[in-house]
Structure 1
Amino acid sequence: MSANVAILRKFGLSNERIVKFVLGNPEKVLVKSKLLESKLSYVEEKFKISRDIPTFIHALSAVLYIDDEGMEKKMQCFRSFGWSDSDIALLFRNQPYCFNKSQGNICERLEYFMKELGYTPLYLISCSTFFTFSLKKRVIPRKMMLDILKEKNLACDKPSLITIITYPEPKFIKFLRGFENEIPRLSEIYVDTVKRVS
Protein backbone atom coordinates (compact mmCIF):
# COMPACT_ATOMS: atom_id res chain seq x y z
CA MET A 1 0.00 0.00 0.00
CA SER A 2 2.74 2.45 0.88
CA ALA A 3 4.35 1.98 -2.55
CA ASN A 4 1.05 2.65 -4.30
CA VAL A 5 0.31 5.69 -2.17
CA ALA A 6 3.73 7.00 -3.17
CA ILE A 7 2.84 6.42 -6.85
CA LEU A 8 -0.43 8.32 -6.48
CA ARG A 9 1.39 11.17 -4.74
CA LYS A 10 4.10 11.22 -7.41
CA PHE A 11 1.36 11.34 -10.06
CA GLY A 12 0.24 14.62 -8.54
CA LEU A 13 -2.78 13.61 -6.48
CA SER A 14 -3.26 15.50 -3.23
CA ASN A 15 -3.18 13.73 0.12
CA GLU A 16 -6.89 14.45 0.53
CA ARG A 17 -7.79 12.71 -2.74
CA ILE A 18 -5.50 9.80 -1.96
CA VAL A 19 -7.15 9.32 1.43
CA LYS A 20 -10.60 9.32 -0.24
CA PHE A 21 -9.41 6.76 -2.78
CA VAL A 22 -7.89 4.50 -0.12
CA LEU A 23 -10.95 4.70 2.14
CA GLY A 24 -13.37 4.22 -0.73
CA ASN A 25 -11.39 1.48 -2.48
CA PRO A 26 -9.21 -0.26 0.11
CA GLU A 27 -8.76 -3.38 -2.03
CA LYS A 28 -7.84 -1.38 -5.14
CA VAL A 29 -4.91 0.35 -3.53
CA LEU A 30 -3.35 -3.10 -2.97
CA VAL A 31 -2.99 -3.92 -6.67
CA LYS A 32 0.44 -4.41 -8.16
CA SER A 33 2.26 -1.11 -8.51
CA LYS A 34 3.00 -1.71 -12.18
CA LEU A 35 -0.72 -2.13 -12.89
CA LEU A 36 -1.61 1.00 -10.95
CA GLU A 37 0.95 3.06 -12.86
CA SER A 38 -0.26 1.77 -16.22
CA LYS A 39 -3.92 2.51 -15.38
CA LEU A 40 -3.09 6.03 -14.20
CA SER A 41 -1.51 6.74 -17.57
CA TYR A 42 -4.31 4.92 -19.40
CA VAL A 43 -7.04 7.10 -17.89
CA GLU A 44 -5.15 10.30 -18.59
CA GLU A 45 -3.86 9.50 -22.08
CA LYS A 46 -6.57 7.26 -23.56
CA PHE A 47 -9.56 9.20 -22.28
CA LYS A 48 -7.95 12.61 -21.79
CA ILE A 49 -9.21 12.84 -18.23
CA SER A 50 -7.14 15.36 -16.33
CA ARG A 51 -5.73 14.17 -13.04
CA ASP A 52 -6.91 17.50 -11.61
CA ILE A 53 -10.66 16.86 -11.98
CA PRO A 54 -12.74 14.99 -9.36
CA THR A 55 -13.82 12.19 -11.70
CA PHE A 56 -10.22 11.13 -12.36
CA ILE A 57 -10.14 8.90 -9.27
CA HIS A 58 -13.52 7.41 -10.19
CA ALA A 59 -12.28 6.69 -13.70
CA LEU A 60 -9.19 5.01 -12.29
CA SER A 61 -11.34 2.91 -9.96
CA ALA A 62 -13.66 1.93 -12.83
CA VAL A 63 -10.93 0.58 -15.13
CA LEU A 64 -8.49 -0.83 -12.62
CA TYR A 65 -9.66 -4.43 -13.06
CA ILE A 66 -10.61 -4.23 -16.74
CA ASP A 67 -7.89 -5.31 -19.14
CA ASP A 68 -7.30 -3.53 -22.44
CA GLU A 69 -9.12 -6.22 -24.43
CA GLY A 70 -12.16 -5.98 -22.19
CA MET A 71 -12.24 -2.19 -22.51
CA GLU A 72 -11.91 -2.41 -26.26
CA LYS A 73 -14.87 -4.80 -26.49
CA LYS A 74 -17.02 -2.41 -24.47
CA MET A 75 -15.94 0.53 -26.61
CA GLN A 76 -16.70 -1.48 -29.73
CA CYS A 77 -20.25 -1.91 -28.48
CA PHE A 78 -20.65 1.87 -28.35
CA ARG A 79 -19.09 2.22 -31.80
CA SER A 80 -21.58 -0.27 -33.23
CA PHE A 81 -24.32 2.18 -32.26
CA GLY A 82 -22.61 5.07 -34.01
CA TRP A 83 -20.57 6.52 -31.15
CA SER A 84 -17.23 8.10 -31.96
CA ASP A 85 -14.24 7.58 -29.69
CA SER A 86 -14.56 11.20 -28.56
CA ASP A 87 -18.21 10.54 -27.64
CA ILE A 88 -17.17 7.49 -25.62
CA ALA A 89 -14.40 9.42 -23.86
CA LEU A 90 -16.80 12.21 -22.94
CA LEU A 91 -19.33 9.76 -21.50
CA PHE A 92 -16.56 8.07 -19.55
CA ARG A 93 -15.44 11.41 -18.14
CA ASN A 94 -19.01 12.18 -17.07
CA GLN A 95 -19.90 8.72 -15.77
CA PRO A 96 -16.85 6.44 -15.38
CA TYR A 97 -18.78 3.59 -13.78
CA CYS A 98 -20.81 3.00 -16.95
CA PHE A 99 -17.87 0.81 -17.99
CA ASN A 100 -18.31 -1.39 -14.94
CA LYS A 101 -21.27 -2.94 -16.74
CA SER A 102 -20.76 -6.06 -18.84
CA GLN A 103 -20.48 -5.78 -22.60
CA GLY A 104 -23.92 -7.39 -22.92
CA ASN A 105 -25.44 -4.97 -20.43
CA ILE A 106 -24.00 -1.98 -22.27
CA CYS A 107 -25.33 -3.21 -25.62
CA GLU A 108 -28.75 -3.88 -24.09
CA ARG A 109 -28.91 -0.35 -22.71
CA LEU A 110 -27.85 1.20 -26.01
CA GLU A 111 -30.40 -0.90 -27.87
CA TYR A 112 -33.16 0.39 -25.60
CA PHE A 113 -32.10 4.01 -25.35
CA MET A 114 -31.11 4.51 -28.98
CA LYS A 115 -33.23 2.07 -30.99
CA GLU A 116 -36.43 2.10 -28.93
CA LEU A 117 -36.37 5.61 -27.47
CA GLY A 118 -34.44 7.32 -30.25
CA TYR A 119 -31.88 9.03 -28.01
CA THR A 120 -28.66 10.28 -29.57
CA PRO A 121 -25.13 9.89 -28.18
CA LEU A 122 -25.11 13.63 -27.42
CA TYR A 123 -28.29 13.35 -25.33
CA LEU A 124 -27.07 10.25 -23.49
CA ILE A 125 -23.77 11.96 -22.71
CA SER A 126 -25.65 14.92 -21.24
CA CYS A 127 -27.90 12.52 -19.27
CA SER A 128 -25.28 9.97 -18.27
CA THR A 129 -27.32 9.10 -15.16
CA PHE A 130 -29.23 6.73 -17.46
CA PHE A 131 -26.25 4.38 -17.22
CA THR A 132 -26.37 4.15 -13.43
CA PHE A 133 -29.88 2.74 -12.90
CA SER A 134 -31.23 -0.73 -13.58
CA LEU A 135 -32.88 -0.89 -16.98
CA LYS A 136 -35.44 -3.55 -16.02
CA LYS A 137 -36.15 -2.51 -12.44
CA ARG A 138 -36.07 1.26 -12.80
CA VAL A 139 -35.92 2.76 -16.27
CA ILE A 140 -38.41 0.59 -18.17
CA PRO A 141 -41.12 0.47 -15.45
CA ARG A 142 -40.98 4.24 -15.02
CA LYS A 143 -41.07 4.76 -18.79
CA MET A 144 -44.23 2.61 -18.85
CA MET A 145 -45.85 4.85 -16.22
CA LEU A 146 -44.87 7.96 -18.15
CA ASP A 147 -46.40 6.49 -21.31
CA ILE A 148 -49.68 5.80 -19.46
CA LEU A 149 -49.79 9.42 -18.27
CA LYS A 150 -49.12 10.71 -21.78
CA GLU A 151 -51.83 8.50 -23.25
CA LYS A 152 -54.29 10.11 -20.84
CA ASN A 153 -52.92 13.59 -21.66
CA LEU A 154 -51.78 13.96 -18.05
CA ALA A 155 -48.14 14.60 -18.93
CA CYS A 156 -46.66 16.34 -21.95
CA ASP A 157 -42.93 17.01 -22.19
CA LYS A 158 -42.46 17.33 -18.44
CA PRO A 159 -41.41 15.60 -16.37
CA SER A 160 -38.92 13.94 -18.67
CA LEU A 161 -37.82 10.32 -18.28
CA ILE A 162 -34.37 11.39 -17.08
CA THR A 163 -36.07 13.44 -14.35
CA ILE A 164 -38.37 10.73 -13.03
CA ILE A 165 -35.75 7.98 -12.97
CA THR A 166 -33.74 10.09 -10.53
CA TYR A 167 -36.66 10.32 -8.10
CA PRO A 168 -36.15 8.15 -5.01
CA GLU A 169 -38.76 5.38 -4.89
CA PRO A 170 -41.03 7.07 -2.26
CA LYS A 171 -41.01 10.33 -4.25
CA PHE A 172 -41.90 8.55 -7.49
CA ILE A 173 -44.77 6.63 -5.87
CA LYS A 174 -46.05 9.91 -4.39
CA PHE A 175 -45.81 11.43 -7.87
CA LEU A 176 -47.95 8.60 -9.29
CA ARG A 177 -50.52 8.89 -6.52
CA GLY A 178 -51.15 12.45 -7.62
CA PHE A 179 -52.83 11.04 -10.75
CA GLU A 180 -54.93 8.32 -9.12
CA ASN A 181 -58.16 10.28 -9.38
CA GLU A 182 -57.78 9.94 -13.14
CA ILE A 183 -56.03 6.52 -13.14
CA PRO A 184 -56.99 4.39 -10.11
CA ARG A 185 -54.28 2.15 -8.61
CA LEU A 186 -51.54 3.66 -10.79
CA SER A 187 -48.92 3.41 -8.04
CA GLU A 188 -49.93 -0.21 -7.34
CA ILE A 189 -49.56 -1.07 -11.01
CA TYR A 190 -46.04 0.36 -10.91
CA VAL A 191 -45.07 -1.54 -7.74
CA ASP A 192 -46.42 -4.81 -9.19
CA THR A 193 -44.49 -4.22 -12.41
CA VAL A 194 -41.22 -3.76 -10.53
CA LYS A 195 -41.88 -6.84 -8.38
CA ARG A 196 -42.35 -9.01 -11.46
CA VAL A 197 -38.85 -8.22 -12.72
CA SER A 198 -37.14 -8.33 -9.33
Structure 2
Amino acid sequence: MKLLREAGVPESKLVRLIESFPTQLKNSPKVFKEALREVKEMKFDPLKLQFILAIHVKLYVGKPTWERREGIYRKWGWSDGNVVTAFRRYPLCFLTADEKIEAVMDFLVNQLGYASSCVAKCPVVLNMSLKRRIIPRGSVFLFLQSKGLVRNLGLTAIFKIDEKTFLRRFIFLQEERS
Protein backbone atom coordinates (compact mmCIF):
# COMPACT_ATOMS: atom_id res chain seq x y z
CA MET A 1 0.00 0.00 0.00
CA LYS A 2 2.88 2.30 0.82
CA LEU A 3 4.42 1.80 -2.62
CA LEU A 4 1.14 2.66 -4.31
CA ARG A 5 0.61 5.75 -2.18
CA GLU A 6 4.15 6.89 -2.99
CA ALA A 7 3.37 6.38 -6.69
CA GLY A 8 0.44 8.79 -6.34
CA VAL A 9 -2.44 6.32 -6.35
CA PRO A 10 -5.43 7.92 -4.59
CA GLU A 11 -7.23 6.19 -1.72
CA SER A 12 -10.29 5.48 -3.87
CA LYS A 13 -8.16 3.42 -6.27
CA LEU A 14 -6.43 1.65 -3.39
CA VAL A 15 -9.84 0.63 -2.07
CA ARG A 16 -10.75 -0.61 -5.55
CA LEU A 17 -7.56 -2.70 -5.68
CA ILE A 18 -8.33 -4.26 -2.31
CA GLU A 19 -11.94 -4.98 -3.29
CA SER A 20 -11.23 -6.32 -6.77
CA PHE A 21 -7.81 -7.93 -6.52
CA PRO A 22 -7.01 -8.63 -2.86
CA THR A 23 -4.67 -11.52 -3.66
CA GLN A 24 -2.35 -9.19 -5.57
CA LEU A 25 -1.35 -7.63 -2.26
CA LYS A 26 0.09 -11.00 -1.21
CA ASN A 27 2.84 -10.85 -3.84
CA SER A 28 6.36 -10.40 -2.60
CA PRO A 29 7.42 -6.76 -2.31
CA LYS A 30 10.15 -7.37 -4.91
CA VAL A 31 7.68 -8.71 -7.49
CA PHE A 32 5.16 -5.98 -6.71
CA LYS A 33 7.83 -3.25 -7.04
CA GLU A 34 8.87 -4.64 -10.41
CA ALA A 35 5.29 -4.63 -11.72
CA LEU A 36 4.80 -1.10 -10.39
CA ARG A 37 8.02 0.05 -12.08
CA GLU A 38 7.00 -1.47 -15.43
CA VAL A 39 3.56 0.13 -15.29
CA LYS A 40 5.07 3.52 -14.45
CA GLU A 41 7.51 3.18 -17.37
CA MET A 42 4.55 2.67 -19.70
CA LYS A 43 3.26 6.08 -18.55
CA PHE A 44 0.04 4.91 -16.92
CA ASP A 45 -1.69 7.63 -14.90
CA PRO A 46 -1.76 6.58 -11.21
CA LEU A 47 -4.98 8.59 -10.78
CA LYS A 48 -6.87 6.31 -13.15
CA LEU A 49 -8.25 2.80 -12.74
CA GLN A 50 -6.16 1.61 -15.72
CA PHE A 51 -3.08 1.95 -13.48
CA ILE A 52 -4.50 -0.56 -10.99
CA LEU A 53 -5.67 -2.87 -13.79
CA ALA A 54 -2.22 -2.76 -15.39
CA ILE A 55 -0.54 -3.73 -12.11
CA HIS A 56 -3.07 -6.53 -11.63
CA VAL A 57 -2.42 -7.91 -15.13
CA LYS A 58 1.36 -7.66 -14.79
CA LEU A 59 1.21 -9.57 -11.50
CA TYR A 60 -1.40 -12.07 -12.65
CA VAL A 61 0.20 -13.19 -15.89
CA GLY A 62 3.78 -13.24 -14.70
CA LYS A 63 6.89 -12.71 -16.79
CA PRO A 64 6.89 -15.99 -18.82
CA THR A 65 3.24 -15.61 -19.87
CA TRP A 66 3.72 -11.90 -20.59
CA GLU A 67 6.68 -12.65 -22.85
CA ARG A 68 4.81 -15.46 -24.63
CA ARG A 69 1.78 -13.24 -25.31
CA GLU A 70 4.00 -10.38 -26.37
CA GLY A 71 5.65 -12.84 -28.80
CA ILE A 72 2.25 -13.76 -30.24
CA TYR A 73 1.40 -10.11 -30.82
CA ARG A 74 4.83 -9.53 -32.38
CA LYS A 75 4.27 -12.52 -34.67
CA TRP A 76 1.25 -10.63 -35.98
CA GLY A 77 3.46 -7.63 -36.73
CA TRP A 78 3.07 -5.55 -33.60
CA SER A 79 5.94 -3.25 -32.72
CA ASP A 80 6.99 -2.28 -29.18
CA GLY A 81 4.76 0.77 -29.61
CA ASN A 82 1.77 -1.38 -30.62
CA VAL A 83 2.22 -3.59 -27.56
CA VAL A 84 2.36 -0.59 -25.22
CA THR A 85 -0.57 1.10 -26.98
CA ALA A 86 -2.75 -1.99 -26.68
CA PHE A 87 -1.81 -2.57 -23.05
CA ARG A 88 -2.41 1.09 -22.14
CA ARG A 89 -5.81 1.10 -23.83
CA TYR A 90 -6.99 -2.24 -22.48
CA PRO A 91 -4.63 -4.03 -20.06
CA LEU A 92 -6.92 -7.07 -19.97
CA CYS A 93 -5.84 -7.96 -23.53
CA PHE A 94 -2.87 -9.69 -21.91
CA LEU A 95 -5.23 -11.98 -19.99
CA THR A 96 -6.64 -13.37 -23.23
CA ALA A 97 -5.63 -16.99 -23.89
CA ASP A 98 -2.95 -17.57 -26.52
CA GLU A 99 -5.24 -19.62 -28.77
CA LYS A 100 -7.94 -16.96 -28.64
CA ILE A 101 -5.48 -14.20 -29.52
CA GLU A 102 -4.39 -16.25 -32.53
CA ALA A 103 -7.97 -16.98 -33.62
CA VAL A 104 -9.19 -13.39 -33.28
CA MET A 105 -6.12 -11.96 -35.01
CA ASP A 106 -6.46 -14.52 -37.81
CA PHE A 107 -10.10 -13.62 -38.42
CA LEU A 108 -9.62 -9.86 -38.22
CA VAL A 109 -6.44 -9.75 -40.30
CA ASN A 110 -6.84 -12.63 -42.75
CA GLN A 111 -10.61 -12.73 -43.19
CA LEU A 112 -11.66 -9.11 -42.70
CA GLY A 113 -8.45 -7.53 -43.99
CA TYR A 114 -7.62 -5.26 -41.07
CA ALA A 115 -4.02 -4.34 -40.38
CA SER A 116 -2.85 -5.93 -37.14
CA SER A 117 -1.96 -2.46 -35.87
CA CYS A 118 -5.69 -1.62 -35.98
CA VAL A 119 -6.27 -4.32 -33.36
CA ALA A 120 -3.60 -2.69 -31.16
CA LYS A 121 -5.70 0.49 -31.24
CA CYS A 122 -8.88 -1.40 -30.27
CA PRO A 123 -7.57 -4.29 -28.13
CA VAL A 124 -10.88 -4.79 -26.32
CA VAL A 125 -11.97 -6.80 -29.38
CA LEU A 126 -9.50 -9.53 -28.32
CA ASN A 127 -11.66 -10.29 -25.30
CA MET A 128 -14.95 -10.41 -27.21
CA SER A 129 -16.58 -13.71 -28.09
CA LEU A 130 -15.32 -14.98 -31.43
CA LYS A 131 -18.38 -17.18 -32.04
CA ARG A 132 -21.09 -14.89 -30.69
CA ARG A 133 -19.84 -11.45 -31.72
CA ILE A 134 -16.75 -11.21 -33.91
CA ILE A 135 -17.52 -13.80 -36.60
CA PRO A 136 -21.25 -12.97 -36.95
CA ARG A 137 -20.70 -9.22 -37.11
CA GLY A 138 -17.63 -9.57 -39.28
CA SER A 139 -19.54 -11.80 -41.69
CA VAL A 140 -22.40 -9.30 -41.96
CA PHE A 141 -19.89 -6.52 -42.58
CA LEU A 142 -18.10 -8.56 -45.28
CA PHE A 143 -21.39 -9.33 -47.02
CA LEU A 144 -22.53 -5.70 -46.98
CA GLN A 145 -19.11 -4.54 -48.13
CA SER A 146 -19.12 -7.02 -51.04
CA LYS A 147 -22.45 -5.53 -52.17
CA GLY A 148 -21.05 -1.99 -51.92
CA LEU A 149 -23.47 -1.10 -49.14
CA VAL A 150 -20.85 -0.12 -46.56
CA ARG A 151 -17.36 1.30 -46.79
CA ASN A 152 -14.33 0.35 -44.74
CA LEU A 153 -15.01 0.90 -41.08
CA GLY A 154 -12.88 0.77 -37.96
CA LEU A 155 -13.15 -2.08 -35.49
CA THR A 156 -14.98 0.13 -33.00
CA ALA A 157 -17.76 0.90 -35.47
CA ILE A 158 -18.45 -2.80 -35.96
CA PHE A 159 -17.60 -4.57 -32.73
CA LYS A 160 -17.82 -2.13 -29.81
CA ILE A 161 -21.32 -0.85 -30.47
CA ASP A 162 -24.20 -2.51 -28.65
CA GLU A 163 -26.46 -5.07 -30.31
CA LYS A 164 -29.35 -2.68 -30.86
CA THR A 165 -27.13 -0.12 -32.62
CA PHE A 166 -25.46 -2.83 -34.72
CA LEU A 167 -28.83 -4.14 -35.89
CA ARG A 168 -30.08 -0.63 -36.67
CA ARG A 169 -26.94 0.37 -38.63
CA PHE A 170 -26.16 -2.83 -40.46
CA ILE A 171 -29.33 -4.88 -40.73
CA PHE A 172 -32.45 -2.71 -40.54
CA LEU A 173 -30.93 0.17 -42.49
CA GLN A 174 -30.01 -2.23 -45.30
CA GLU A 175 -33.55 -3.67 -45.30
CA GLU A 176 -34.93 -0.15 -45.75
CA ARG A 177 -32.61 0.42 -48.74
CA SER A 178 -33.79 -2.76 -50.46
Range into which the TM-score falls when normalised by the shorter chain: 0.7 to 0.9
Partner of 2:35: 39
| Cα drift, residue 161 of structure 1 | 4.6
In the alignment, is residue 113 of structure 1 matched against residue 108 of structure 2?
yes
In the alignment, is residue 26 of structure 1 matched against residue 16 of structure 2?
no
Q: Secondary structure at 1:64's aligned position in 2?
A: helix
Partner of 2:84: 89
Partner of 1:14: 10
| Cα drift, residue 114 of structure 1 | 2.3
Percent sequence identity is 25
Report matched runs for 1:39-188 at 5 Å: 39-45=35-41, 48-52=42-46, 54=48, 55-153=50-148, 155-157=149-151, 160-175=154-169, 176-180=171-175
Contact 1:43/1:49 (8 A) holds in 2:
yes
| Cα drift, residue 36 of structure 1 | 2.1
Q: Runs of 4 or more off by more than 4 Å in structure 1?
A: 158-161
Please list every run of 5 or more consecutive structure 1 residues that lacks an aligned counterpart in the other structure: 184-198
| Cα drift, residue 126 of structure 1 | 2.6
Give TM-score, length-normalised by structure 1. Answer: 0.74
Deviations 1:56-105 (A, max 9, x none): 22211222111211111111111112222222112111111100011222
Q: How far apart, CA to CA, are the structure 1 residues paired with 2:86 and 2:153?
A: 23
Contact 1:143/1:161 (8 A) holds in 2:
no
Please list every run of 5 or more consecutive structure 2 residues that lacks an aligned counterpart in the other structure: none
Contact 1:49/1:56 (8 A) holds in 2:
no
Change (3 A) 1:141 1:128: same
Q: Which has the higher contact order (CA 8 A, sep 6+)?
A: 2
Contact 2:89/2:122 (8 A) holds in 1:
no
Q: Secondary structure at 1:66's aligned position in 2?
A: helix
Contact 1:78/1:88 (8 A) holds in 2:
yes
Q: How far apart, CA to CA, are the structure 2 residues paired with 1:63 and 1:132?
A: 17
| Cα drift, residue 174 of structure 1 | 4.2
Could you tell which deviates more after superposition, 112-121 or 138-147? 112-121
Paired residue total: 176
Structure 1 or 2: larger helix share? 2
